[in-house]
Chain A
Amino acid sequence: MAHPDSVDEGGEEHHGSPWPVVIAVGMGIGYVGIVSASIPILVVGAAVFAAGAGGWVHVDMERPSRAFYGLAAAIESRFPRVSARKLALWLFLVTEIMFFSAIIGASWTLRLRTTTPGAAFQAPWARPGEILNVLLTGANTFILICSSVTMVEALAAIERGDQRKVRYFLLATLLLGITFLSIQAFEYQKLYFGDGLTFTQVPAHASEVNKLYGPTFYAQTGVHGSHVTAGVLALAYVTRKAFKGGFTKDNHEAVELVGLYWHFVDVVWIFLFTIVYLI
């Protein structure tokens, strides 16, 4: 059901929602809190951000999802058109590529610098499986791959206009995402409190291992886990909207965009699993 004030007579969308502005203001306040190391300012920023996100989801939940071609249409004679939102999401994913490259690159550099013979504070890195449970995380990797298949099948279902399958495939993707996070939480809990892999210490049974193993492990898998959490929230939103009948054969761009983000998180994990667990 379209809001009368959001669609004009020609069926064209107005982009007059105030909620993205509220989200941006919340993020701005939050960053001030981080930079000034002030928890109260950070909490205020997070609250404004959450209110903005909640408001946006609340408004959007009632609207059909529709592709917006915007500027791309103006240059279509040179370039075949791609929805402006999809283009923006791909640009956002490039910033994510840089973000993860920085985290992984920094961790890998620390590892190389402290394991080469003659380096300051030299200590060996843990062998695969020495500290981490490779088989458990291998199973978790399989779960994430399964969730990518269910996600892409959900998109294929709504492209055919199949309302029943899009709901079940989205729900399956959401549940698989939650399973991945639960297994990761279990792994963290066991490693940190059980085995003693902390930000400064390594487990007693692997006492010769480099002290940087813990912080680099938690930094790399932690930022990925936070991205999976964001993906699960986005999946919860599209699943809810699908169960309300918010997507049709012609209007389902949100499913595609959330899917792109979800697959990207899977791609990052493919590399992280190899780098952190297998090498």
Chain B
Amino acid sequence: MAETAVAVHAPGAGEIARKRPYIPVFVILAVVTGIELAITQPGLPEIEHSLRIIVLVILSTIKASLVIAYYMHLRYEPRWLALIPLAGLALVAVLVTALTATVAHP
């Protein structure tokens, strides 16, 4: 039983692995990190503070999504598995909402 289960897991894994874009993802991660560092360096044209925060949050979300999708293989897993981290994100949304509400009305 366990043997058949392993057999289901194994075939074609090598084939799929070769096609996965690990190096292009790495290049994007490195370039985006460089952009993040560049826009926070002094001496460059000053970007408005709130705009900079929005840009930085978007850039880090792109990086995190790439790592989760490709390096953590969530793109290649059965769809339902993504519900687990999404449930975690839903809980984070509740926490952020609660914290924001208490900051707005201390």
Contact = CB atoms under 8 A, between A and B. Distances in A.
Interface of A: 10-13, 66-69, 73, 79-83, 87, 90-91, 93-94, 97-98, 101-102, 105, 108-109, 112-113, 116, 119, 128-129, 134-135, 138, 141-142, 145-146, 148-149, 151-153, 155-156, 159-161, 249-251, 256, 259-260, 263-264, 266-267, 270-271, 273-274, 278-279
A79 B80 CA distance: 7
20 contacts: A10-B2, A13-B2, A79-B78, A90-B85, A93-B88, A94-B84, A135-B37, A142-B33, A148-B26, A148-B29, A149-B22, A155-B17, A156-B22, A160-B17, A250-B9, A256-B73, A263-B71, A267-B68, A274-B59, A279-B53
Contact of A145 (B23, B26, B80): B26
Interface centre among B18, B29, B52 (most CB of A within 10 A): B29
Interface in B52-81: 52-53, 56-57, 59-60, 63-64, 67-68, 70-73, 77-78, 80-81
A256 B67 CA distance: 14
B84 A12 contact: no
Contacts of A66: 2, 6
A91 B63 contact: no
B26 A97 contact: no
Contacts of B80: 79-80
A105 B95 contact: yes
B45 interface: no
B95 A80 contact: no
B5 to A, nearest CB: 4
B2 A94 contact: no
Contacts of A271: 60, 64
B87 interface: yes
A135 B42 CA distance: 12
B53 A109 contact: no
B13 A159 contact: yes
A82 B14 contact: no
Interface of B: 1-3, 5-10, 13-14, 17-18, 20, 22-23, 26, 29-30, 33, 36-37, 40-42, 52-53, 56-57, 59-60, 63-64, 67-68, 70-73, 77-78, 80-81, 84-85, 87-89, 91-92, 95-96, 99, 102-103, 106
A138 B64 CA distance: 16
B88 A270 contact: no
Interface centre among A94, A119, A152 (most CB of B within 10 A): A152
Contacts of B81: 82, 87, 90
Contacts of A116: 103
A231 to B, nearest CB: 14
Contacts of A260: 72-73
Nearest to A250: B10
A108 B29 CA distance: 25
B67 A91 contact: no
8 closest residue pairs by CB, A with B: A94-B88, A80-B78, A97-B88, A156-B17, A69-B5, A274-B60, A160-B14, A159-B13
Contacts of A108: 99
Contacts of B92: 97-98, 101
